[in-house]
Amino acid sequence: MQPSKKGLAGKLAAYFIESKLTPLLIAASLVLGYMALQITPREEEPQILVPMVDVMINTHGVSPQEVERFVTNPIEKLMWGISGVDYIYSTTQTDMVMITLRFEVGTELEPAVVRVHHKLREYAPEVLLPTHLPLVRSYTIDDVPFLGLTFHSDQKSSYELRQISNTFAQKISEIPNISLVRTIGGEPRVVRIVPDTTKLKSYKISLLEFLPAITEGNVLNRVGKTTGLSEEYLVEVGGFLQDTKVIEDLVVAIKAGRAIRLKDVAAVIDGGAQRADYVLHGTKTNHAQSAVTLSLTKRKGTNATALAEMVLHKMEKLAPAHLPTDTNYTVIRNYGETAKEKSNELIKHLLIASISVMFLVALALGMRSSLVVGVAVPVTLALTLFIYYFLGYTLNRVTLFALIFSIGILVDDAIVVVENIHRHLHLQRKSGKHVSLSDIIVRAVDEVGNPTILATFAVIAAILPMAFVRGMMGPYMSPIPVGASYAMIFSMGIAFVISPWVGKLIYKKEGHENHTNHEDTDKHSFLDQVYFRIMHGLLASWKEKVVFFIFVLLMFGGIGALMVTKTVRVKMLPFDNKSEFQVMIDMQEGTPLEKTKQVAQEMANYLTTMDEVHDYQIYVGTSAPINFNGLVRHYFMRKAPHLADIQVNLLPKHERKRQSHDIAKSVRPALKAIADQYGADLKVTEVPPGPPVLSTMVAEIYGPDYEKQIALAKEVKQAFKQTEGVVDVDWMATHPQKIYALTINRKVASLKRVSIDSIVRTLEIAYGNIPLGVYHTDDNLEQVPVKVELPLAKRQDIEALLQLTVISQDQSFVPLKELVTIETSAQGNAIFHKNLQPVVYVLGDLAGDEESPVYALMDLNKKVKNISAPDGGQLSIMSSHQPETTEHYSLKW
């Protein structure tokens, strides 16, 4: 009888079982894996290529509706035609339009930004006024700060701390691969010229007369060059403002033959700007101190762990020379360290999983067989790590989870091959025939080769579709299907190439003719006997087949019932145990900065009563360093007096018992009580375990009338509040802020020969909104602007402002109160769009026993169905797509 022809597996095993290349392949694989482990960048979050581009336009309109018609709608139509744009979101206010473009997954950032700029340059002049110049900004995952340093002191002011932190920022920026160092908090240095309104009135001087005096006195022009006997000279005329005494001596006006200088009618102050925000740092033992934060971002593909270590090492070297003794700095974020911890922890679990697999194989097939599998596992993982590096992935919690997930399936091929080798060795010993060990192993591998190949590609076919999931979830989770698929292919090749060689080496040393009794016995184990009995029955009896089939159906139905009965709760991803969370405070629009600070401080004081809290930072009027969640939600735009963020930093995981999610849940009720006391909206936000979203629960309200959409959204918002487990309920509808509208009496202005421009510019100067140049100094790392502004008390008193005078064309002085009338109004609601359709968002988070959106959505759907549309019709409820038209009212989850 002719021997059967070998398949692919048999041919590979026959070639490599005697080859001297095989041990070199093992060594090369392990070396490649080790090198990949060392040089692959380690990061907190996986790299997601989903570019976002903001187009911001400053506008001046009567109402948001007018701006929507003439600015938002035309620009949205232009942007919607750009290839690769997946979603368009916009916010329209009276004075500003922001349009956010989210491109399709995998779109490269630079070409996307170029397409946006090209479209705006080509068509925007046709739809925008020259004053409405759009500003384009792009964002990626690398714009999330990987390191945060907070400088704090109970002796230094926030102005002084900013100067100190700027020194460190300049030095840190010199480190290679640092992308941007941003200073948060502290008053920047400014030269303020503060007029005395009484003296202005006495000298009959208008604020407008300050402009030429300052701007013309701060000019240096190069007018030419001249040649001497031996060299050439450049000729300059004028001079810059480099001394406050020079500014004080600038001549503002000539009255009765006398020069009126700035110091005669104003004070010149070189110091911090008017406070626009607060940054505070506190711990359980120390009260809140003045603080300034540096947030550091890195270049794409840089190892966050190594870069963070470089920065902190440089900080230690710089501190003795540049950090005053009464000032300290605290590392409030170190994603490099957390990435390192996660990598080390997951690698440790990887080793544990590998040893566990070897132990189980040893129990079933013996120690020698477990050693064969033990060689296959690290070689496969090493090659998979190299592929991750080759494909541009970073080492993060998702890629390392993919490796751990892969262990459960990548050992299958090796186990099948080793088990069949083990069986053939046993059969050969029973037969008594002498066959070489190599032939036995090759025959065993060849026998299971084709089924193993089929099973391998069947597993890949089941896993790989996850790589084609749309949206952010696709690239976020893609390392799992990609890594597992490559691992399966490598494990199959290793099972056919390396396992036979290792098996021969191990079995040969033991001597395959003389094995211990437990491997030679003909007795079957208890599990074998149970298996044989079941299978004989199923193969022989139709009755048992039917019973078994019914049993399988019942089991399948029972598993489905576990979800319905909530015995097992469905959830997309488990919560991660982070060392931070944030508290977002939204006071009513128009709330002063000091009031917002008071509320934030009260909440921070409560947080320090929690044993797990290490420290906190309060950001009032400015945003905290954003995380991945905040990047998508545009938390960096939270810059207003009524907004505050509290960054809560917890003890390291090994120093506390509770998970970060449990801590965040436990503080929410008390914080909510404080927020309700002051009429504030509160959100306790955590870094999500998966890709970020606008909120865990989002209801989008569409319809033909925006005011009625808001009314409908109010009912949906109430339904959110009445649903168990739904917390942090909010909506994206602004509270009307009070406006003092100074209406110019054009007839009176014309009769008094006062230009409207002079009225507007006088008020702009009074509020410090007209830049007058730069103060030229060598001892500051930031530009120092020069500006004129009235004292704060005068700016806060609208009646006092109207006492200012303007110069008419006949050089007479006319008080503003004779030219304007005060009217009180309210700012209109902002208008939101999604893909060109007006929308109102209702947001909510989940907390409690059921933290899966599945159950909350089922409850909310019942409540929402009872809500009637404003037009009396049925409210359409959608889940997968936006409505085709907004002629009828609809809700999309």
pLDDT reading at 616 higher than 90: yes
d(CA 237, CA 220): 6
Residue 717: closest CA among 707, 706, 730, 727: 730
Rg of the chain's alpha carbons, rounded to an integer? 36
> Which single residue is written with the structure tokens 């304007």?
820
Quick: pLDDT tens for 186-220: 999 999 999 988 888 888 888 888 888 888 888 88
Residue among 144, 143, 164 nearest 153 (CA): 164
CATH number of 52-139: 3.30.70.1430
Contact of 870 with 889, CB cutoff 8 Å: yes
Class of domain 189-272+738-826: alpha beta
CA distances to 573, 723, 809, 876 from 859, in Å = 21, 7, 70, 17
Same fold for the pair 52-139 and 189-272+738-826 = no
CATH code, residues 8-40+338-523: 1.20.1640.10
Residue 517 has pLDDT above 50, yes or no: no
Rounded (10°) angle between helices 335-365 and 367-390:
150
Mean pLDDT across the stretch 716-734?
87
Beta carbons of 726 and 844 less than 8 angstroms apart: yes
3-state secondary structure of 832: strand
pLDDT band at 722 (very low <50, low <70, confident <90, very high): confident
Q: Would you list the domain boundaries of the chain?
A: 8-40+338-523, 52-139, 189-272+738-826, 524-569
**For residue 150, what are the β-bridge partners?**
293, 330
Q: Helices in 323-395 by DSSP H: which ranges? A: 335-365, 367-390
Closest of 148, 146, 154, 164 to residue 283, by C-alpha: 154
d(CA 466, CA 478): 7
Whether the per-residue pLDDT at 877 is higher than 90: the answer is: no
The vertex-288 CA angle with 643 and 670, nearest 5°, equals 60
Q: Residue 608 pLDDT more than 60?
A: yes
Kindly indicate the confidence band of residue 514, based on its pLDDT and cuts at 50, 70 and 90.
Answer: very low
Highest mean pLDDT (candidates 169-178, 222-231, 470-479): 169-178
pLDDT tens sequence across 54-113:
999 888 767 888 888 888 999 999 899 899 899 999 999 888 899 999 988 888 889 999
Label residue 13 left, alpha or beta by phi (over 0 means left) and psi (-120 to 50 means alpha): alpha
